Amino acid sequence: MTDPAKPTLLVVDGHSLAFRAFYALPVDSFVTRDGQHTNAIHGFLSMLILLLQNEKPTHLAVAFDISRFSFRTREYAEYKGTRSETPPEFVGQVPLLEEALQAMGVQTLSKEDFEADDILATLATRGAEEGFDVLVVSGDRDAIQLVRPGVTLLYPNARGVSELKRYDRDAVVERYGIEPEQYPDVAALVGETSDNLIGIDKVGEKTAVKWLKQFGSLDEILAHADEITGVVGQNLRDQKDRAVRNRKLNRLVTDVELPVGPLDLERKPIDEQAVRAVFDRLQFKTLLERVLKIAAAERGDSAPSAADAPPADSIPVIRTLVDEELAQWIKKQSASGTTPLGLRVETHGSSVTGFGLASATETVYVPWAEGRMDYVALETWLASDAPKYLQGAKSQYKALHGAGLRLEGIAFDTTLGAWLLKPGLKPESLETQVYDYLGERLAVADPSQLVPENEGASPATEAWYILRIAEYLAGRLDAGSRGVLDDIELPLVPVLATMELTGITVNHDVLSALTAQLSETAATVAAAAFAEIGREINLGSPKQLQEVLFDQLEMPKTRSNKTGFSTDAASLADLQEQNPHPFLDLLLQHRDATKLMQIIASIDKAIDKTGRVHTTYEQAGSSTGRIASNDPNLQNVPVKTEIGRRIRSAFEPSPGFETLLTADYSQIEMRIMAHLSGDAGLIEAFNSGEDLHRFVGARIFSVAPADVTPTMRTKVKAMSYGLAYGLSAFGLSKQLRIETSEAKELMTDYFARFGAVRDYLRNVVEQAKVDGYTTTIFGRRRPFPDLNSSNRVLRENAQRQALNSPIQGSAADILKRAMLSISADMAGMQSRMLLQVHDELVFEVAPGELDDLTSLVRARMGGAADLDVPLDVQIGTGPNWDAAAH
DNA sequence: AGACGCACGTA
DNA sequence: CGTACGTGCGTCTT
């Protein structure tokens, strides 16, 4: 660390760090209500605040580039020429960032014709001369050359700006094997893609370092170029101009004329008024708190305001409790009423080794060993309704289950809470949540080390943080989202956990037989395909397929994608029409067979010793509220083709169970659309008992329901389903392979009869534009920052997502509600709920329970929502999943 | 090894 | 130029 006796000068490359932050943080998640992107500002400030806290610089400056042009581009026009246009979402953030820095009392610097790194180089050099401990923060590798006694480089790692690696001289030597001042020589030889500086061909870091060690410097290497043998030696001699040019360009200027020197950069006090104003405009709540905390500390008034949570350094001292002491502690907590405790289960492998418990003021660690029975108090508390706050409650529930412990009283889950606040984010680790929501660091053990040199945080500390994150999140959830959390998501945790633990029986022999048959088909078809084109290629390689189709067979070009032209099934079907060739059909057959084999393999390898497959449900994985399934994904088991359905026939009731039962909602999304739009025609369609598409078709084509032809029905069906996805006339015409004009006409006719549907869909988007989010029937929100984007693609994507979200999300809510009431009703039964597939549930039925289960499932699914149209539930039973379909 | 794009399975 | 997912492969890049 830095010498406390010396002043510390911190100089930061504003542009490169802000740019890194821009790409490290999701651009969609940081947008103000009026559409201003703030992710780069947020990431940069967050990093800077950490630096202020950790490094306590006495002097500070942030340097910016004025433009992408400098003396270097004048010397070499292609310098940084490979850089693509700066994204517009980034450009607007820089002035705001400078404003925020100003409010924080941070000096910003820039200089015409020079890059920010040159300013850094100048200040670092002078600072070191004047007796400062200098810290240089830059995302540009060229800054390595600045490292020397008194100058340390902080360089962001690949993960963005959240972690800075410290390079002093020893660290540079360790990482690169050379002295810091030799680094530019290495870079000159190797080249720097990001600056569009091409190096010597075939010379990488290894070779460059080897030469430098041998000859000492680039000049000496070039002087002795004749002594270097082989292709690289020749390349060096041929291309030495490149190295010379690169070296000239990557030398940082250390004597830029600046209006200030290091001594002028003394930290100024934070202007709290101004900081509040700027951060308010940027809608940075957490960052504001963190800055104000620093401001308070620097003023020397350490008393936290009453509303503040305890600061990071006041994590209560961890006590390890067992036996009587533990029982007393739990008793004391329970006596204080319904105050929730943070809970963290510690596991090693699959076994439970301890517990962390925390209240706002106390942290407790409880060691646990398998089979110990002296923890009655803890066991009782876990299984009681006493409120517990967890992170990732489902996996904790399962871990406890494995140790023979029951968990009840899940009153908050920070994973679910964070997801309901921002459903677009993937679940975060606890460490990330601590950092993102509290701005603090949680120690994490290095998983790559068998004996970690840095210890992870204690489960007790983790439990305390969980409590604080939960409070943070709870304070930000609106009433609707809180209702979804309390009434749907939290109660669903044990239901899903139990389904995962139960698993579904899969018949390995059925799968093996299928694989054998498919692999034979694949081989035969491949051989025939090779015969057609006169050579053997990898049929799974889109690249090789493109060569065959468009070069060798000279077929017309299909729609293009990033790697050339598409070879997907739709494109191949088009080709078959325009340019029939036996190869095309054989290729499709091969794709079919191999795809099915893959799916079978993923299921088969997941079968456990008891013959069951246990998927894992991702409860916080989708933006709309749906549940996802993985490892293996049991929500995409084939059903549409005959051979695909044979995979479903491998899913059977477990021994001791009578049959499988499937129950699904028919046309639930259309029904929700009818309800939400209040369209009289559509509501009548569902109440009439007539086939939906026939009813709608009759209205649109002005014929009797009996006279709706299959073609008409197909068109109407595609139109109806497309509605909820924001389908365009163009898309509809492509799907139905009809003229755009006909598709347009179909849409016009449709809306002439069902106008309220169109009005509703329009209104959803309009309202979302105003509110910034959409809401499901039950109050689940999804934010849409891009609805007002100036980027058309972004905006139109957001519009379609916005009109779909209440529909898909409400359907998800309804099935989840049904699962909860079904699960509650099944408490006394032996039958088990096994799978959820978005609008379908699969059960295995214990002997004698079929009638009861059927009627209860029908009643609970049918009654899961009170809509203006009935919820139709289809139920089927059979000896396997395929046979149980209807 | 890890990231990315393509292609394709489901609702 | 149709929403929401997960997986496996090929390919290019650490």
Protein residue closest to B6, using CA and C1' = A542
Count Cα atoms within 13 angstroms, Cβ side, for A882. Answer: 18
- pLDDT, tens digit, for every residue of A431-448? 889 988 888 888 776 543
Residues A389 and A334 in one domain: yes
Final residue of a domain: which of A578, A613, A648? Answer: A613
- The dihedrals phi and psi of A644, each to the nearest 5 degrees, come to -65, -40
Å separating the CA of residue A786 from the C1' of nucleotide B5: 24
> What's at A541, amino acid-wise?
S
A752 occurs within a structural domain? yes
Specify the pLDDT at position A193.
65
Pairing of strands A318-320, A363-367: parallel
Report the range of poorest mean pLDDT among A245-249, A456-460, A510-514, A684-688. A245-249
Residue A49 has pLDDT above 90, yes or no: no
pLDDT of residue A712: 93
SS3 A376: helix
Q: Which nucleotide is nearest to A639 (CA to C1')?
A: B10
Q: Which nucleotides of strand C lie under 7 Å from a protein CB?
A: 1-12, 14
Whether A459 and A552 map to the same domain: the answer is: no
Share of chain A above pLDDT 70, in %: 94
A323: domain CATH number?
A: 3.30.420.10
Task: Give the C-alpha separation, A844 to A661, whole Å.
Answer: 6
Q: How far is the CA of A44 from the C1' of C5 (A)?
A: 33
Higher-scoring residue by pLDDT: A857, A110:
A857
Is A192 in a helix, a strand, or coil?
strand
Say how far A398 CA is from C6 C1', in Å. 22
pLDDT at A866 exceeding the cut of 90: yes
Burial class (CB in 10 A: 0-12, 13-18, 19+), A454: exposed
| Residue A11 three-state SS | strand
Percentage of the residues of chain A whose pLDDT score is greater than 90: 51
Q: What is the pLDDT of residues A99-156, one digit of tens each?
A: 899 889 899 998 888 889 899 999 999 999 999 999 999 888 888 899 999 999 988 7
Answer whether A641's CB lies under 8 Å from A635's CB: no
Give the domain-ending residue among A590, A613, A636.
A613
User: What's the CA A315/C1' B4 distance, rounded, in angstroms?
Assistant: 42
Closest protein CA to C1' of nucleotide C5, residue: A628
Q: Is the CB of A160 under 7 A from strand B?
A: no
Q: Does any domain span residue A229?
A: no
**Is the minimum distance from the CB of A621 to strand C below 7 Å?**
yes
Q: Which two tokens stand for residue A319?
A: 């006590």
User: A657 falls in which pLDDT band (50, 70, 90)?
Assistant: very high
Residues 832-871 of A with CB under 7 A from strand B: 837-840
* Helix, coil or strand: residue A368: coil
Q: What is the tens place of the pLDDT at every residue in A455-475?
A: 678 999 999 999 999 999 999
pLDDT digits (tens, 9 = 90+) for A583-602: 998 998 998 899 999 999 98
Joined tokens for residue A374: 């002296």
CB A828 within 8 A of CB A856: no
Q: Is the pLDDT of residue A498 over 90?
A: yes
| Each residue's pLDDT tens digit, A332-341 | 888 776 789 9
Give the CATH number of the domain where residue A561 resides: 1.20.1060.10
Residue A722 Cβ < 7 Å to strand C: yes
For the CA of A565 and the C1' of B5, the distance in angstroms is: 13
Q: Is the CB of A592 under 7 A from strand B?
A: yes
Q: Distances from the Cα of A130 to the Cαs of A6, A62, A148, in angstroms?
A: 10, 19, 14
Distance linking the first and last C-alpha atoms of chain A: 70
Nucleic strand C within 7 A of Cβ A624: yes
Give dist(CA A798, CA A769) in Å, integer: 10
The string of pLDDT tens digits covering residues A387-400 is: 999 999 999 999 99
CA-to-C1' span, A31 to C6 (A): 29
Same domain? A553 vs A446 = no
Structure tokens given for A729: 């006339």
Contacts 24+ apart (CB under 8 A), A519-526: A519/A593, A519/A597, A521/A589, A521/A593, A522/A590, A522/A593, A522/A594, A522/A597, A525/A586, A525/A589, A525/A590, A525/A593, A526/A586, A526/A590
- Stated in angstroms, how far is A639 CA from B7 C1'? 18
**A442 found inside a domain:** yes
Whether A443 CB is under 7 Å from strand C: no
Residue where one domain finishes, among candidates A265, A297, A327: A265
Q: Are residues A336 and A472 in the same domain?
A: yes
Cα angle A486-A487-A491, degrees, rounded to a multiple of 5? 80
Closest CA-bearing residue to C1' of B9: A636
Is A717 part of any domain? yes
| pLDDT score at A309 | 43
Q: How many CB atoms lie within 10 A of CB A575?
A: 22
Pair A427, A327 in one domain: yes
Q: Is the pLDDT of residue A161 over 50?
A: yes
DSSP single-letter state for residue A37: B
Structural domain count of chain A: 4
Per-residue flag: A567 CB under 7 A of strand B: yes
Cβ within 8 Å of residue A712, ≥6 positions away: A697, A700, A701, A703
C1’ C8 / CA A507, Å: 23
C-alpha to C-alpha distance for A150 and A132, rounded to whole angstroms:
7
pLDDT (0 to 100) of residue A196: 66
Tell whether the model's pLDDT for residue A356 goes beyond 80: yes
Is residue A203 a part of any domain in this protein?
A: no
Phi and psi based region of residue A342 (left: phi greater than 0; alpha: psi -120 to 50; beta: remaining): beta
A304/A286 Cα distance (integer angstroms): 15
A541 touches strand B (CB under 7 A): no
Q: Is the pLDDT of residue A35 over 80?
A: no
A137 and A20 in a common domain: yes
Per-residue confidence (pLDDT) for residue A445, from 0 to 100: 64
Unique residue bearing structure tokens 């051989």 = A527
Residue A678 to residue A682: CA distance in whole angstroms: 8
Through-space separation of residue A96 CA and nucleotide C7 C1' in angstroms: 42
Identify the sign of the CA torsion A827, A829, A835, A839: negative
Q: Within a domain: residue A402? A: yes
| Nearest nt by C1' to A801 Cα | C3
Residue A45 or A36, more confident: A45
Identify the bridge partners of residue A133 per DSSP, sorted by sequence position.
A8
| A215 inside domain | no
Query: Domain range holding A528?
Result: 515-613
A355's tokens = 């517990």
Residues A530, A388, single domain; the answer is no
Residues A442 and A325 in one domain: yes
User: Distance of CA A292 to CAs A32, A132, A267, A304, A627, Å?
Assistant: 21, 27, 15, 10, 40
* Range A694-717 average pLDDT: 94
Q: Is residue A280 part of a domain?
A: no
Quick one: A135 and A31 in the same domain?
yes
- Across chain A, mean pLDDT equals 87
d(CA A177, CA A488): 57
Together in a domain, A456 and A335: yes
pLDDT exceeds cutoff 70 at A500: yes
